[in-house]
Amino acid sequence: MFGSKGATWGRASVAVLGAALLLGGCSGSSGKGGGDEPDRKVDATITQQPKGTNPFWVNPDGNAAEQVAAYVKGGENTDAEQIRKIAEQPTGEWISPESPEAEARGFTEAAQKADRSALLVLYNIPHRDCGQYSSGGAADGDSYRAWIDGVARGIGDRAAMVILEPDAILHLADGCTQDEFHEERYDLLNGAIDKLSALKNTKVYLDAGNAGWTHPDKIFEPLKLAGIDKADGFSVNVANFYSTADSIAYGRQLSAKVGGKHFVVDTSRNGNGPYTGGDAAENWCNPPGRALGEAPTVKTADPLVDAYLWVKRPGESDGECKGGPKAGQWWAPYALKLAKASK
C-alpha cells in the first residue's frame, strides 16, 4: 500500500544487445485509420531531447517506442502521436536482478554514444516493498552487495545518475519494514552509496519518500543513518503523483534537516496531482484520471532541485489493481490515458 514501484525491467534486456541496437531507433510504416487524415505521414523514429535542458538519454527501443511503432504500422497515427509524448522523453532504466553488469554497461554505453547521461534506478534491496505488489529483492545482504558491484562495473567511467532504492528509507520510517531488517538495510545502503559515488561520473540520489506519506521529521534521521551525507542528494515522489510544488516544498523541508542536500523530483505522472476518489490504501496504484507531468529537465523552479525526472516509466503498471497487469508491465490503454490527459 506504500507506493509500490513495480519491477520495471520490461525492456532492460535490450541493453545486452549492445549500443548499436539501442541507437538504431524504431521503424514502421505510416498508414491510415483511427480518424487520421488520409495522406498524413507519421514517422516512428524516436529522437533525443536538446542536451542543454534535458541531458538524459532517451531509449529508442523502450516500451513506449515500441508502442509508437506498432500504432504507426497499424495506421493508428493519432494514438502513435499521443504515446510519442512518453517515448521521446528519457525515463529511468530499472536494472534487473539477473544481469546488472550487462544492463548497466549497455545503457551507459548507448547514452555515451548519444552524448547523454543514463538515468538508472536500483530497486533490489532485500525484503523490498514489504511483501506487496513489488515484493522481492536480493535474497540476502551478500547477494545485494554483489549486485551493486555488478552495477558499478557496468557503469564504469561513463555518465550516469542513479536513483537508489525507491521506498527503502520510507519503509524504515513508516514501520512497514520489520525492525529485524533495519540494521542490515542501513549497512547495505551505505555500502551502495560508497561504491557508486566512487565512480568518476556517477551521481547518486537516495530515495526519500514523498510529500503525502511521511513528514521530514520522521525520515531525516533514517536518511542520515543510510549515508545521505555521502550521496549527491535525494529523490522525492518516485512513482507517485504529488504535485511538483508540493514535492519541492517537502524536499526543501527535508533538505534543511540533512545539510542542505539537493534533490530531484519524479514528475512522470503528477500532471493532475494525486488521486483522492477511491480507496486511500490504493490511491497510488494505477489511479484513474492522472496525467504526465513536467518533462525531464535540469532547468527547474528551485536552485535546490537538480532535475525533474521521469523515474517511473509512464504507462507501466503499478500492480494488479484496477484491471492492471503485474507491476512493471507495459499497459497501453493506461499510457494512452496519461498522454491524452496531458497538455
What are the angstrom distances between the C-alpha of 149 and each of 19, 120, 122, 195, 198? 22, 15, 12, 7, 12
Q: What is the CATH number of the domain that holds 331?
A: 3.20.20.40
Residue 253 belongs to some domain of the structure: yes
Residue pair 3/312 in contact (Cβ under 8 Å)? The answer is no
DSSP state of 291: B
The reply to whether 39 belongs to the active site is: no
Domain range enclosing 312: 12-340
Residue 262 belongs to some domain of the structure: yes
Q: Which pLDDT score is estimated for 32?
A: 35
Which of 269, 244, 328, 337 is closest to 62 using CA atoms? 328
Residue pair 224/197 in contact (Cβ under 8 Å)? The answer is no
Kindly state the helix (H) or strand (E) to which residue 266 belongs, with its residue range.
strand 262-266
Residue 32 belongs to some domain of the structure: yes
Three-class secondary structure of residue 258 per DSSP: coil
C-alpha cell at position 315: 504507462
Model confidence pLDDT, tens digit, residues 132-144: 667 789 999 999 9
Residue 4 belongs to some domain of the structure: no
Residue 1 belongs to some domain of the structure: no
Three-class secondary structure of residue 340 per DSSP: helix
Q: Which pLDDT score is estimated for 112?
A: 98
Model confidence pLDDT, tens digit, residues 255-296: 999 999 999 999 999 999 999 987 777 788 999 999 999 999
Model confidence pLDDT, tens digit, residues 84-115: 999 999 999 999 999 999 999 999 999 999 99
What are the angstrom distances between the C-alpha of 131 and each of 11, 128, 157, 240, 298? 24, 7, 35, 19, 35
The reply to whether 318 belongs to the active site is: yes
Residue 6 belongs to some domain of the structure: no
| Candidates 129, 207, 266, 306; catalytic one | 129
Number of domains in the chain: 1
| Candidates 167, 207, 266, 306; catalytic one | 167
Low-confidence ranges of the chain (pLDDT < 70): 1-41, 131-133
Q: Which pLDDT score is estimated for 41?
A: 61
